[in-house]
Copies of this chain bind each other. A is one copy, B any other.
Amino acid sequence: MDVGFIGLGHMGRPMAANLVKAGHRVRVWNRSREKAADLLAAGAMLAANPAEAARAGVVITMLADDDAVRAVLEGEMGLAVGLPQDGLHISMSTISYELSQRLVRRHAEQGQKFVAAPVLGRPEAAQAAKLFVVAAGPDDQIDRAEPLLTALGQRLFRLGDEPPKANLVKLCSNFMLLAAVDSMVQAMTLAGKAGVEPSAFLEVVTGTVFDAPAYRTYGEIITHERFRPAAFGAPLALKDMRLTGAAAEELRAPMPFLGVVRDHLLQTIALDGESVDWSALALAVRRNAGV
């Protein structure tokens, strides 16, 4: 399939590579071109601007935040200009519930199609094409996107025909992940002050009710304090929590754990710098207990 791919960061690069590997004709674009080098060598083409990438008829965006999506969308050389009538924009970035609502309206105005398909998984999963894809949008458009989405992930979830729902579920999932890790760290810190070894603690919880990737993976990271380099930086996680909070505000839903994880992230960034992984919130929790 001809497809444009916009955004070649930690996640976007391996994803675009998997599309090439699966035999799709991929036109890539990134704000800083040098990120595209490997992909071009592997067979991707370089688009001169977002509009040109979108001319492929189907275009994927995988960008850092709302501002980056807005920036590639608009303007004379923007995605919205290049995407043909009935062309499909697949937004895989973690963006706000609000922006997703706007994208629905924006593309509808121009007779374009829109699917939100954010992903769950860290860069390793992107590389291994083991992402989970949470898609929402018109059924026929998800069908159209499916050959691309299945080249990127191990499983595709369909959440109905309103794209913003997929973005919201992605934010909710990140919130639950941060809350899970935060609760684990609070518990480990308490047990630790009584002399219980982190590894012994983890063996019990992941061997019983919490036998889940979230607890296993982050239990390891935290026990060995592998907070740098960041797989998913604390400021990015903070941004996701802000977007979750904005959706909670719009939808009038209290979320009492949200303030706690947000504050732990703020503390972590204030004390350990902008470059740590979000799981370094463990350092904040421990410090607060005098550990």
List which A261-291 residues lie within 8 A (CB) of chain B: 262-264, 266-267, 269-271, 284-285, 287-290
Establish whether residues A266 and B247, one from each chain, have CB atoms under 8 Å apart when the complex forms. Answer: no
The residue from B97, B212, B270 contacting A252, defined by CB atoms under 8 A apart: B270
Q: How far is the CA of A286 from the CA of B173 in the complex (A)?
A: 18
Q: How far is the CB of A204 from chain B (nearest CB, A)?
A: 5
Nearest residue in B to A182 (C-beta to C-beta)? Answer: B257
A120 at the interface (CB under 8 A from B): yes
Q: How far is the CB of A15 from chain B (nearest CB, A)?
A: 17
Establish whether residues A257 and B257, one from each chain, have CB atoms under 8 Å apart when the complex forms. Answer: yes
Establish whether residues A204 and B251, one from each chain, have CB atoms under 8 Å apart when the complex forms. Answer: no
Check A184/B176 contact, CB under 8 A, given A168-B196, A194-B251, A210-B214: yes
Q: How far is the CA of A271 from the CA of B285 in the complex (A)?
A: 13
Establish whether residues B208 and A210, one from each chain, have CB atoms under 8 Å apart when the complex forms. Answer: no
Check A97/B180 contact, CB under 8 A, given A200-B159, A290-B270: no
Max count, chain B CB within 10 A of own CB: residue among A134, A269, A288:
A288
Q: How far is the CA of A18 from the CA of B241 in the complex (A)?
A: 44
Q: How far is the CA of A205 from the CA of B170 in the complex (A)?
A: 9
A155 at the interface (CB under 8 A from B): yes
Contact flags A168-204 to B (C-beta < 8 A → 1, else 0): 1100110111011011101111110111100011011
Copies of this chain, complex-wide, total: 4
A215 at the interface (CB under 8 A from B): yes
Interface range, A side: 35 or more
Q: How far is the CA of A208 from the CA of B157 in the complex (A)?
A: 10
Task: Name A's B-contacting residues (CB within 8 A).
Answer: 97, 120, 132, 134, 155, 157, 159-160, 162, 164-165, 168-169, 172-173, 175-177, 179-180, 182-184, 186-191, 193-196, 200-201, 203-205, 207-215, 238, 242, 244-245, 247-249, 251-260, 262-264, 266-267, 269-271, 284-285, 287-290
27 contacts between A and B (CB under 8 A): A132-B204, A134-B204, A155-B207, A157-B204, A159-B204, A168-B196, A169-B201, A172-B190, A176-B183, A179-B180, A183-B257, A186-B258, A193-B252, A209-B212, A209-B213, A209-B214, A210-B214, A211-B213, A212-B215, A238-B249, A249-B262, A254-B264, A259-B259, A260-B260, A270-B288, A270-B289, A270-B290
